[in-house]
Structure formats: structure tokens, C-alpha cells
């Protein structure tokens, strides 16, 4: 049991921090522009494939730096020549634009790299067990992923609260007209934030690609859970996105590791009252691991019922 708790906690925190890397960029974009970017997970996928392609020629470490820069630059171009022109027409055209962009990116990825998973491997320098917990080896690469995620979170927090650029960005979130009158180019600030947001998603893709499966449908697999994180944390709240990411990461990781059902719990305490056959009998024997993937969405429903603005959101967001 202690091994299960320790390993599941490590994996849950790691998964949560990867979610935060993507949710933070999406939250910044929504806070500043009021746009829920449906293509955000697609930039995560592009980061993984760009990292894979670059690593084939120059190694993993160059890809770790170059891929987010390229994807961030692509995101900035999307904002400048696409989203900025759509923005003036309202939220519905924005949503349709990003929704269509997600499909375009997926089709382009399939044409270039195919539908099958690519051979994106963990770098040899990190392909060893970092430590052993009760006979279970914990890979050094997963520890590296955790360290990178935490470091980026701290750097992002410091940049937003302690630097001049961060102060301008925060001011532009709530008072764009005042920032413009002070001589700052607000559209460029918007483009910078959109590029940084997509770049953060790409970082998550580069470091998660070797550990997870890098394939053309990876955006569709992770996209829905990403919006669960943003809504549960509170639209526009960076702190809320961090809390919700860790919460969902831990809850889902522990859920899929528990092979426990209502029937098994009752039998363990000497009660055998399971319904005989039928739908109720099947539900009685469903384990937590089997329903683990839907638990975040159930949490989303409960949070919205109790607090429609999310855990740390506010009415203005």
C-alpha cells in the first residue's frame, strides 16, 4: 500500500504538472484575449513531432529548445494573421477558427508523419532508473520531466510578477486601453502571450513525447482533459489552473491504480449483498480503475454545480 501511495503520488504530480504546462498557456490566452483556443492541444502535438524530427538530426537537447521556439513562433503568426482578424467579429468566429485550425494541424501531421506512432525515444543520458521504491525502479526521465515542469512554473510565476514585461502583460489583461495610452503596443503584447502560450504547450509535447505515445491523434486524447483543468481551476486563473492540474493528475492517477469495486469492499467486511445478474450486478462489480477516465469529468460537473466560476475563478473571468 505504501508503495502504491508513493509511486502514484509521483506519477500524479508529474501528470498534473504536464497538464499545467498546457493549461497555463491556455489560461493566459483566455485571460488576455477572451479566446478559448480549441487548437491548443494541437500545438502540444506539434511540439512532440517537431521535437522528434529535430532530435533525429541534432539530438534530443537541441529539439527541447528549438521545437518550442518554432511552435511558439507559429502560434504568434496564427494570432497575427489569423486570430487577430477574426477577433473583431466576436467569440463564435474565434471558436470556429481555432476548431478548424485543430483539424488542419491534425491533417498536416498525418500527411507528414503518418497515422502510426513515431519512434521518439528517451535520450540515452536519461535512460536509467533514478531510484528504487520498494523494488520498483522510477525512471530518471520521469524525474527530469517533473523538474522541468516545476522549473517552468516557477520561471513563469517570477516573470509575471517580478519583471517589467510581466507587469505590462498583467496590466494588459485588465486595462488594455490604459496600457496602450502609456505607449505600449497592446496587439504585440497579445501576439507575445499567444506565442508563449503555444510554446509552453510545445514544451509539454517535447518532454512528454518520449514517455508517452507520439502519434497523430495525441491532441484529441489530451484536449478534452485540458479544458476540464481550465474550467475546474477557474477561467482566467493561473493559480487555479495549477491547483486543478495537480488535483486532476493525482485523482486520475490514484483512480486507475485502484482495482476496487463496491462488491469487493463489501466482501472484505463480510457482507455479500451483490445483486444477482443484470445491469445492477454489472455496476456492483465495476472497479474504480475502470471508471477512472471519467472521474475528472464528474469532478468538472460537481465543481460547476457548487461553484460555476471554478475553484479560484471570479465572476469577471
Q: What is the pLDDT of residues 112-156, one digit of tens each?
A: 999 899 999 898 888 888 878 777 788 889 889 888 888 888 888
CA distances for 135 relative to 7, 105, 106, angstroms: 11, 42, 41
Residue with cell 491548443: 40
DSSP labels, 216-252: TTHHHHHHHHHHHHHHHH-TT-HHHHHHHHHHHHHHH
Tell me the average pLDDT across 214-222: 86
E strands, the chain, where? 129-133, 136-139
pLDDT value of position 46: 94
Domain ranges of the chain: 1-219
Q: What is the pLDDT of residues 156-188, one digit of tens each?
A: 888 877 887 777 777 776 677 787 787 777 788
DSSP labels, 280-309: HHHHHT-BHHHHGGGHHHHHHHHHHHH-TT
Q: How far apart are CA 70 and CA 76, in angstroms?
A: 10
B/e letters for 275-295, b = 16+ CB within 10 Å, e = fewer, are: eeeeeeeeebeebbeeebeeb
Are 220 and 106 in contact, with CB atoms under 8 Å apart?
A: yes
pTM: 0.85
Amino acid at each position: 500500500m505504501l508503495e502504491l501511495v508513493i509511486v502514484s503520488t509521483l506519477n500524479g504530480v508529474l501528470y498534473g504538472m504536464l497538464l499545467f504546462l498546457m493549461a497555463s498557456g491556455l489560461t493566459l490566452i483566455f485571460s488576455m484575449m477572451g479566446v478559448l483556443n480549441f487548437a491548443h492541444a494541437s500545438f502540444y502535438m506539434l511540439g512532440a513531432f517537431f521535437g522528434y524530427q529535430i532530435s533525429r538530426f541534432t539530438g534530443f537537447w537541441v529539439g527541447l529548445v528549438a521545437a518550442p521556439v518554432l511552435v511558439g513562433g507559429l502560434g504568434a503568426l496564427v494570432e497575427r494573421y489569423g486570430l487577430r482578424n477574426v477577433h473583431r467579429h466576436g467569440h463564435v468566429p474565434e471558436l470556429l477558427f481555432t476548431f478548424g485550425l485543430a483539424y488542419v494541424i491534425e491533417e498536416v501531421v498525418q500527411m507528414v508523419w503518418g497515422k502510426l506512432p513515431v519512434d521518439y525515444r528517451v535520450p540515452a543520458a536519461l535512460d536509467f532508473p533514478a531510484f528504487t521504491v520498494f523494488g520498483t525502479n522510477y525512471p530518471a526521465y520521469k524525474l527530469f520531466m517533473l523538474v522541468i515542469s516545476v522549473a517552468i512554473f516557477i520561471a513563469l510565476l517570477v516573470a509575471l510578477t517580478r519583471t517589467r514585461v510581466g507587469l505590462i502583460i498583467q496590466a494588459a489583461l485588465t486595462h488594455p486601453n490604459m496600457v496602450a495610452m502609456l505607449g505600449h503596443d497592446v496587439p504585440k503584447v497579445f501576439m507575445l502571450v499567444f506565442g508563449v502560450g503555444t510554446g509552453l504547450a510545445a514544451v509539454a509535447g517535447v518532454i512528454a513525447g518520449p514517455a508517452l505515445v507520439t502519434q497523430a491523434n495525441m491532441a484529441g486524447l489530451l484536449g478534452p482533459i485540458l479544458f476540464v483543468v481550465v474550467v475546474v481551476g477557474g477561467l482566467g486563473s493561473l493559480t487555479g489552473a495549477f491547483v486543478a492540474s495537480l488535483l486532476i493528475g493525482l485523482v486520475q492517477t490514484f483512480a486507475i491504480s485502484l482495482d476496487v469495486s463496491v462488491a469487493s469492499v463489501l466482501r472484505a467486511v463480510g457482507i455479500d449483498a451483490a445483486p444477482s445478474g443484470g445491469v445492477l450486478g454489472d455496476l456492483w462489480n465495476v472497479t474504480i480503475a475502470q471508471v477512472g477516465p471519467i472521474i475528472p469529468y464528474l469532478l468538472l460537473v460537481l465543481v460547476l454545480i457548487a461553484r460555476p466560476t471554478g475553484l479560484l475563478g471570479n465572476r469577471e473571468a
